[in-house]
Chain A
Amino acid sequence: MENNVLLRVEDVWVQRPGAEVLRGVNLTVRRGEVHALLGLNGSGKTSLALTLMGCSGYEPGRGRVFFDGRDITDLPVTERARLGLTLAWQEPARFEGLPVADYLALGMKRPSRERIEEALKAVALSPLAYLGRTVNSALSGGERKRIELAAVYAMQPRLAILDEPDSGIDVLGIEDIMALIRRMADEGTSVLLITHRDEMAEAADTASLMCGGTIINTGTPAEVREYFARRCRPHENLLGSQPWGEEAGGTYQRVVAEGMRDE
């Protein structure tokens, strides 16, 4: 295994009730890399994130996951987190009565007030306004999203999986999230970034395109985008006769890939 490889996913298959959500995924994330994971809704991105984190119900029926050279396929969530792997959920959980400061401190190696405030500022939230609040439903979805990202940042993981950190965030907030991702990378955290946004994907070092539960293309963000525009066509069952490809200025929101590997 290459020395600079942090995460390697080898031929991972995951069966959920009624569906095979991952079908032979292969993926490599290198140290210090921001790796964008693209694909339409239902292509398997979130399933892959939950599988990598070791969440229950997402145990691979086949294949292996290696983190820093160690086989973590059978490790529970806690053990993976202690190795330096963590996940920011697409829809963050609510915690009734849990203060924001305590939530941020949970994953910190050496909790401190300064670090907690720094994490809040990193997601453009005022410590003064949020330290006295709890991570409950009184916070908007966007606020919980930022606090979730702050908690991941405060943890200083080796690999952060960010599942659509931009969803539910206002347009101005996208820049904050991009700045946070750059900051994490600068501080040594590798990022697996699941996103639908071109501008976020373009900030990545590498991109992979998922379709039908597997990764069909990997390259620079521009290469993957090019591949997508040229090689993908609409899934007739889903999108009928909508335009697709370059002629329609197609993006991955509007078309899906053929579901075939780029041999």
Chain B
Amino acid sequence: MSSHSLSRIKSSVLRQRDPAWTREFEAILKAYEQAGGRPDVLQTPRVASAVISGNQVLAVNQVEGVNIEAEELEHGIRARITVAPGTKVDYPVHLCFGMIAAEGLQEIISEFEIGEGAEVGFLAHCTFPNAVDLKHVMDAHIHVGPGATMRYSEGHYHGPHGGIEVLPTTHAQVDEGGRLESEFSLAHGRAGRLEIQFEVDVAARGVVELVAKAYGSAEDEIKVNEVVRLNGEGARGLTKTRVAVRDQATSEVYTTAEGNAPGAVGHMDCTEIVRGEAMARNVPVVVVRNDRARVTHEAAIGSVSKKELETLMARGLGEEEAVDIIIRGMLG
């Protein structure tokens, strides 16, 4: 096991090491590119980044105010990312996670500490192009300091086999006036078994927006479990879930929003599209502990809207093609 930080790894991620490192690095970059990522960005010194394959930290690049520490574990890595108070990070921090192997376990244990008044975005690509029997576990702790903003976008790109389990768990705290926007998307390749757990506590005037999008087919199982606790005065929270399932896939969305303080406003918005023999369930839970708080929810589960479908068919698209465009748009 080894530890990496900027002081120990030069900023150029192309720095040659041993041939095995080079092969692994090239393979993960190729998968990253196929997943829509831009490898050239990972070679840009002014963009903070980390490239993780399996349990190897292949490269880390830091910029002023952004510190990335990564430690290799037996089946994954432990990372701590801190953004110094007041830092405005110009370019999103790029994170590349993945495994080229068909089988195995990858555990990512991460900690994000966003200092007071800082502003930072993260763009994470998770690629598992060959997964046949693979488990990807994430355990993240996020702390968004007072008045700070963190935007985190994670896109998953899986292979066609479906033999993958993706189990991300996040515990987050948003301090007074802070803002956390998180988007998770799994719309390429087989979802396999996806189980998202996200809990967040929001202090006064804090804002949280959680977006989860997934597309399941065959026997995929998708489960989203989100809990938003609006604990401070004027705290606001939104959960937005978009899931499409077809064949025998299943989708279960459980969202809880708690309005625990005066002026807290929460909303849960869930849309699930069902095709074939698939099954979808949505269970919103509304908890209000203050008479000046307000929490609402809306859910729509069903087939593709007939009007949307026929509009596209009236342009000459076949039914399946039209359905695909509608679903891809929703998950886009």
Contacts and interface: CB of A to CB of B under 8 A. Distances in A.
B171 to A, nearest CB: 29
B317 A78 contact: yes
Contact of B329 (A55, A77, A95): A95
Contacts of A134: 329
Interface in A68-126: 76-78, 80-82, 86-87, 89, 92-98, 102, 106-107
Contact of A55 (B310, B317, B318, B331): B310
Interface string A35-56: 0000000000000000001011
A86 B315 contact: yes
Contacts of B301: none
Given A78-B319, A89-B307, A96 B314 contact: no
B317 A106 contact: yes
A81 B316 contact: yes
A211 interface: no
B329 A86 contact: no
A77 B310 contact: yes
B315 A98 contact: no
Given A78-B318, A93-B307, A98-B325, A106 B332 contact: no
A180 interface: no
B311 interface: yes
Given A86-B315, A155-B316, 12 more contacts: A76-B319, A77-B313, A78-B318, A89-B307, A89-B311, A92-B311, A94-B308, A97-B328, A97-B329, A97-B332, A106-B317, A106-B325
28 contacts: A53-B314, A56-B306, A76-B313, A76-B319, A77-B310, A78-B317, A78-B319, A81-B315, A82-B316, A86-B314, A92-B311, A93-B308, A93-B311, A94-B308, A95-B308, A95-B329, A96-B329, A97-B331, A98-B326, A98-B329, A102-B325, A106-B315, A106-B316, A106-B317, A106-B325, A107-B314, A134-B329, A151-B315
A131 B177 CA distance: 34
Interface in B35-65: none
Contact of A93 (B305, B328, B331): B305
B330 interface: yes
Contacts of B305: 93
Contacts of A107: 314-316
The 8 A-B residue pairs with the shortest CB-CB distance, nearest first, are A107-B315, A97-B329, A97-B332, A98-B329, A77-B313, A81-B316, A93-B308, A106-B315
Contacts of B100: none
Contacts of B319: 76, 78
Contacts of B332: 97-98
Interface string B279-309: 0000000000000000000000000011110
Contacts of A106: 312, 315-317, 325
Contacts of A96: 242, 329-330
A151 to B, nearest CB: 7
A223 B316 CA distance: 36
Interface in A52-72: 53, 55-56
A148 to B, nearest CB: 8
Query: Which of A89, A106, A151 neighbours the largest number of chain B CB atoms within 10 Å of its CB?
Result: A106
A77 B325 CA distance: 17
B327 to A, nearest CB: 9
Contacts of B315: 81, 86, 106-107, 151, 155
Query: Which of B242, B311, B313, B318 neighbours the largest number of chain A CB atoms within 10 Å of its CB?
Result: B311
Contacts of B242: 96
A84 to B, nearest CB: 9
Query: Which of A53, A77, A95 neighbours the largest number of chain B CB atoms within 10 Å of its CB?
Result: A77
A53 B326 CA distance: 20
A93 B176 CA distance: 40
A108 B319 CA distance: 17
Contacts of B316: 78, 81-82, 106-107, 155
Nearest to A55: B310
A151 B313 CA distance: 13
Contacts of A155: 315-316
A82 to B, nearest CB: 5
A82 B329 CA distance: 23
B90 to A, nearest CB: 22
A155 B315 CA distance: 7
B306 A77 contact: no
A134 to B, nearest CB: 7
A134 B329 CA distance: 9
A81 B311 CA distance: 10
A98 to B, nearest CB: 4
Contacts of A55: 310
Contacts of B328: 97
Contacts of A81: 313-317
Contacts of A56: 306, 310
A107 B326 CA distance: 15
